Structure 1
Amino acid sequence: MTVLSRFEKKVIIVTGGGSGIGQAVVRRLVAEGGIVTAVDVNEDGLKAGAKQAENIAVAGGRYSFMVGSVSSEESVKKIVQDVVDQEGRLDALINVAGILRSKKTTETSLEEFMEPINVNLIGTFLFCREALPHLTKTKGNIVNTASTSAQYGHPYMAGYAASKGGVEAMTKALAREYMKEGVRVNAVAPGGINTPLKEGQNDRMGGLDVSLFSHLVRPDYVCGEPDDVASVFAMLASADGSFMTGEIVKVDGGVHN
């Protein structure tokens, strides 16, 4: 990891910070001096993140966590307000929390279809809505998590793809809505990344490996790692991304080019 200090004295909320990409983003921001609050329903993962943060915090970097569901309006309101009350400001919101459901569409119940909608899309909306009044004061920014599934044909994930398509559309709408107020809103669209979200995916799809489509394009393709994506989140959330808003940045190893 390149040692930088782009987030000194910056207060940041990261949802989904208990595992995978979210946990990698937290590590990156704390290592660069950020004052980071990680949010997740996975308390064990959040506690593990605390141990990681102790070893990498520099330049005033600090880690704390709050257990809560991103799809609970009451929980989201409390988390955002508690962070602002404790730290006095909010400089960035990074929405990573998400779930994946892989299943043949004709076998998918409405409840199963709505699960990723409620977490991935509604959860992102709720945190954006609650954070924006504070971000307008600091001229801060938001980085959401989209997915290549929203842009390309990934089978067996209609609900997931729909939720991520909604995140992309909302990201662009918010970027336009808050441009004059100095708030940037972007999103990262990862491809195949080795995270707990991906584990067991092939089994859920009856043995069909989505990465098969990647290998058809690029025979040497392997899934990326969370740190490969965390660096892009950090760039967008920092001053290095100051002239970017409304962008969906694809991070997929070139598979969908």
Structure 2
Amino acid sequence: MSTSSRFAHKIVIVTGAASGIGRATLIRLVAEGAVALAVDLNEAGLQESVALAQATATHGGRAAHAVASIADEAAVKKTVADFVAREGGLDVLVNMAGFLRATHTQETTFEHFMNVVQVNLGGTFLFCREAMPHLIQRKGNIVNAASTSSYFGHPYMAAYAASKGGVAAMTHTLAWEFLKTGVRVNAVAPGGISTPLTQAMATGFPEGVDYSLITHLSPLNGFGQPENVAGVIAMLASADGAHINGEVIRIDGGVHS
């Protein structure tokens, strides 16, 4: 674990922090001194994440949690407002929350499609919107969760790919829109990372899929770990990433090189 103090006195929100990349990011930032709020719908997972983060906290780092749906506008407003009022500002927003279920496109209901978009893209937008005024005040930054599916063909994931493509596009646009405020907006595009989401996907493909279309999604040298992504997020969100803006960094072990 890093003993850097890059996030000492920095106030941070991490969504999707109950597991996977969100949890690893929470732990990494708190270990570097962040005062962080972990947001997710899974309260038990959040409590475990906060306990893990507290166990490795240094440089004044600490963590708390808030149970909220990122797709619930009122909940997002309250979560951000309450945390900022309590801590006095906001320096970093990390949007990692989202979900995925593989389906045949011709069997995907419009309700399912829109639900995925509402959570993955809409929830990211809501947190960006609510956080932005506070980030402008402190010249903070945002790191969003795109995906390799934002740019490459991921069969049976039309809804997920569309939502993550939207996240990548929104990241580029926000970076340019807020360029003169001093707020940076970047994203990571993980692929082949061992998380509860990807593990569920591996056993959750529908019947009748053509596996020859999806074998290219697996890294040749094994899946990466959430900590591999968390390290990149920490760089982007810190002063080390001060000259990186509007970028989407692919983290997939070279599968799409």
TM-score range relative to shorter protein: over 0.9
Give the distance between the partners of 1:210 and 1:83, measured in 2 at CA: 44
Give the distance between the partners of 1:89 and 1:209, measured in 2 at CA: 49
Question: Once the 2 structures are TM-superposed, how far is the Cα of residue 211 of structure 1 from its aligned partner?
Answer: 5.9
**Given the alignment of the two structures, is residue 11 of structure 1 paired with residue 11 of structure 2, yes or no?**
yes
CA contact (8 A) 1:214 1:221 kept: no
Question: Once the 2 structures are TM-superposed, how far is the Cα of residue 138 of structure 1 from its aligned partner?
Answer: 0.1
Mapping 1:66-215, distance limit 5 Å: 66-205=66-205, 206=207, 208=211, 212-214=215-217
CA contact (8 A) 1:202 1:210 kept: no
Q: How many corresponding residue pairs?
A: 254
SS in 2 for 1:180: helix
SS in 2 for 1:58: coil
In structure 1, what residue type is equivalent to 2:22? G
CA contact (8 A) 2:38 2:50 kept: no
Greater mean alpha carbon deviation, residues 108-117 or residues 142-151: 108-117
Residues 35-86 of structure 1, C-alpha deviations (whole Å, 9 max, x = no match)? 0000000000001012202210000001000000000000000000001100
Give the distance between the partners of 1:200 and 1:247, measured in 2 at CA: 28
Question: Once the 2 structures are TM-superposed, how far is the Cα of residue 30 of structure 1 from its aligned partner?
Answer: 0.4
Question: Once the 2 structures are TM-superposed, how far is the Cα of residue 200 of structure 1 from its aligned partner?
Answer: 2.7
CA contact (8 A) 1:12 1:35 kept: yes
Give the distance between the partners of 1:163 and 1:180, measured in 2 at CA: 27
Give the distance between the partners of 1:100 and 1:125, measured in 2 at CA: 18
In structure 2, what residue type is equivalent to 1:198? T
Structure 2: gaps spanning 5 or more residues: none
* Residue of structure 2 equivalent to 1:20: 20
* Residue of structure 1 equivalent to 2:65: 65
What is the Cα-based RMSD across aligned positions, in Å? 1.3
Question: Once the 2 structures are TM-superposed, how far is the Cα of residue 104 of structure 1 from its aligned partner?
Answer: 0.5
Structure 1: gaps spanning 5 or more residues: none
Greater mean alpha carbon deviation, residues 239-248 or residues 44-53: 44-53
Question: Once the 2 structures are TM-superposed, how far is the Cα of residue 203 of structure 1 from its aligned partner?
Answer: 3.3
Give the distance between the partners of 2:251 and 2:245, measured in 1 at CA: 17
TM-score of the aligned structures, taking structure 2 as reference length: 0.96
CA contact (8 A) 2:191 2:217 kept: no
Give the distance between the partners of 1:9 and 1:211, measured in 2 at CA: 44
